[in-house]
Structure 1
Amino acid sequence: MNDDAALAARILEVALMLAERKGWDALHLHDIAASMDIGLADIYRHYQQKDDLAEAWFERADLALVRAAAREGWGALSYRERLEQAILAWLEALAPHRRLTAEMLRYKLQPEHLHLQLQGLLDISRTVQWLRESASLPDSGWRREVGEVVLTGIFVSTFGFWLRDSSPGASRTQAWLERQLRFAERLASYRLPGSAAGPAQAGWTRSPMR
């Protein structure tokens, strides 16, 4: 890690530490600068607004799900199992600051932060695309479009469930996610009588070649 990247990472860590104490809404960039004994210009080089820190936090989670695909035995898993493990890796990366993560989302949803909400939609789309890539989903055309809609719904609902989950190791979230993926798998394998393909033949639920 070069000096610039190390400083950016350190700024984010200090921001998370301060926000845990005072809350995300009350955090200011000048608080971070004062705590680190650096200038605002040093922060500006890496984060032009406070929400850029939240973006960097969620990007860490995206990187965690991408790295999950390098795990031993990944290629032997079904598409459903890959998706499950990738989503759980994303959530586990956020777990050290789960309450703060919820505060970041509430900050984005404030009425005056419409631009942050639009960015949030783009972030969801980006994460779903990386989930698809990490699972090596093969679909294209309308099957890909249907699969993305289904996967986005599963991802967003699981994230919301996880934010409120107080069970040890987020076990209730894991059970919820498995149910959602298995339901999608059954839906995708459905066939209309006399038809060659079901109405929701989203190929991401099928097992890859072993």
Structure 2
Amino acid sequence: MNKMSDASHILNAALELAQAQDNWYDLSLVELADRCNTSIPEIHSHFADTNAIADAWFAQALEAMLFPGPDNIDHLPAIIRLEHIIWRWFEALAPYHSVTAQMLKSKLHPPHIHHWAPMVFDLSRLVQLWRDMAGLRAGGRRRQAEEIILTGIFLITLSAWCRDNSPQQSDAHSRLLNLLARAEKLGQF
């Protein structure tokens, strides 16, 4: 196997193991190495720790979000483009919904403050991508307002999504739709 397929194999095995144990926080690299029929040094050559594995999972969701949407999406209103783009990120994470929520909780664990700053930068990049992909081109204060509102919409939706046990996290999706509609009604997009 090449290095990429090894990393992909390790990521998938970590997700499956955490899901089977319903516990990301205590994921054992020893158990993961056994499951992958490899060694901890080999895992470490791909991922420094379980946080790096989680980052790889979120990177996959980002790639899914960036995948071109329907051909006519550029002709749709910005609010519909935003919903489509943002929800695609959540859909990519849905197969391991519970594990993903546990990853986020682990990153926010008070002793893990070293994870907080990278999360802020990642969130900022996500918001910028959403704006660009949705065709929002405002500058100045309007751009700042859009960024703040999109960040708030995302954080509220993410919180709802993490707790949502409805089929396909439909409650969180409804929450996203409602928040976007309210922002549009206030003339934000």
Q: What is the TM-score normalised by the length of structure 1? A: 0.83
CA distance in 1, matches of 2:28, 2:167: 33
The aligned counterpart of 2:85 is: 86
Distance 2:125 2:31 in 1: 30
Alignment of 1:120-159 (within 5 A): 120-159=119-158
- Distance in 1, matches of 2:151 and 2:16, equals 31
Q: Residue 24 of structure 1: SS of its match in structure 2?
A: coil
Aligned residues between the structures: 188
CA distance in 1, matches of 2:111, 2:102: 16
Deviations 1:63-115 (A, max 9, x none): 11111x43221111111100001111111111111111111122112221000
Q: Which residue of 2 aligns with 1:47?
A: 47
1:112 aligned to 2:111? Answer: yes
Find the aligned partners of 1:101 and 1:115 in 2 and give their Cα distance. 19
* AA of the residue aligned to 1:133: D
Cα distance in 1 for residues equivalent to 2:2 and 2:139: 41
Distance 1:61 1:18 in 2: 19
Structure having the larger proportion of residues in helix: 2
How far off its partner does 1:17 sit?
0.9
1:17-96 residue pairs with structure 2 within 5 A? 17-22=16-21, 23-67=23-67, 69-96=68-95
Give deviations 1:26-47, integer Å, cap 9, x for gaps.
Answer: 2122322222122223222221
Moved more, 49-58 or 118-127: 118-127
Shift of 1:148: 0.5
Q: Secondary structure at the match of 2:46?
A: coil
Q: Return the letter of the residue paired with 2:147.
A: E
Which range is displaced more, 109-118 or 152-161? 109-118
Q: CA RMSD in A?
A: 1.6
Structure 2 gap segments, 5+ residues each? none
Cα distance in structure 1, aligned partners of 2:11 and 2:56:
8
Letter of the 2:93 counterpart: L
Give the share of equivalent positions with the same residue, in percent. 36
Deviation, structure 1 residue 151: 0.4
SS at match of 2:111: coil
Distance 1:168 1:32 in 2: 29
Query: Relative to structure 2, which stretch is displaced further, 113-122 or 75-84?
Result: 113-122
TM-score, normalised to structure 2, is 0.92
